Chain A
């Protein structure tokens, strides 16, 4: 009986050790730099593309040649920074 209990205790310790190792590994599993850079840059570029696109369309239809592009370029860049801020906040949370 005693021998069995000892075996169970040993098994418990083994399981605990493995669980500890696994939790350590999952914490270490951070993203590499390249994918992080891609994430940030695509957010900025995508918002800028949309902003400039809307600006050009507005200029084309309303005939306000430079102003639509200028205004929507700035709005697009703000939107890009807002997206980057949101991505960063999401990463911080994790």
Chain B
């Protein structure tokens, strides 16, 4: 109590405090603590929000859609168009996968923009799990479609034979780098944006009247952050489409 009274007014809030995981209770297993945390709660809320949004808005099924119905139809069309542009007609089979990933990241980012909520995409383990799912799925798809012929993906066509020992390792490394660049991009964007918001929010009160300047900056930054939240979900979806395309049509 005394320490909090001493720090009254200048209470120390770390800008990184928002990313802390706090478990609700304990669930000890042999591989560690699998407790339900605030991160899991945010994910459950995200999934519930997506399910409610998509089922309730299209439940009326009117020919002239209402605004909400139009929104869910637009999100469907957006990914269907994306998949058609990058993969072509064969890509229709993978629509549920891409759509699920896109909506999960998008709504997760947007829920993270609400005050007092939790951004689960700002943890590398979450984004890496998503990226690894895409990576393993695409690799399995490539082997299922082409068999061992899939290895020819690493051979650039029209190259003299003496370049192959150098270029095959380079191609393999650039293939293995995909999940890392995919996950790091989403995680770093969300982490940097939310930290920046909190850091500037910390300037507002100590600066007194001049605190209006960082306050105005935060308002602008929040708009940019919402744009980034959408853009990163879009980038994740379009790269997933491209990887599926690479696996279906080698080169």
**A interface residues with partner B (beta carbon < 8 Å):** 31, 35, 38-39, 42-43, 45-47, 49-51, 54, 72, 75-76, 78-80, 82-83
Contact = CB atoms under 8 A, between A and B. Distances in A.
Interface string B144-166: 00000000000000000000001
B228 interface: yes
B contact patch SS: helix
A46 B170 contact: no
Nearest to B232: A35
A76 B173 contact: yes
B142 to A, nearest CB: 18
Interface of B: 166, 169-171, 173-174, 176-178, 180-181, 184-185, 188-189, 228, 231, 235
A79 B178 CA distance: 11
Contacts, number: 56
Given A35-B189, A75-B173, 15 more contacts: A42-B184, A43-B177, A45-B181, A45-B184, A46-B177, A46-B178, A46-B181, A47-B173, A47-B174, A50-B173, A50-B177, A75-B169, A75-B170, A79-B171, A79-B177
B228 A80 contact: no
Contacts of B177: 43, 46-47, 49-50, 79-80, 83
A82 B156 CA distance: 12
Contacts of A47: 173-174, 177, 181
Contacts of A42: 181, 184-185, 188
Contact of A35 (B166, B176, B180, B231): B231
A46 B169 contact: no
A51 B181 contact: no
Contacts of A54: 173
A94 B85 CA distance: 12
A80 B173 CA distance: 9
A82 B188 contact: no
Given A42-B188, A75-B173, A78-B170, A50 B228 contact: no
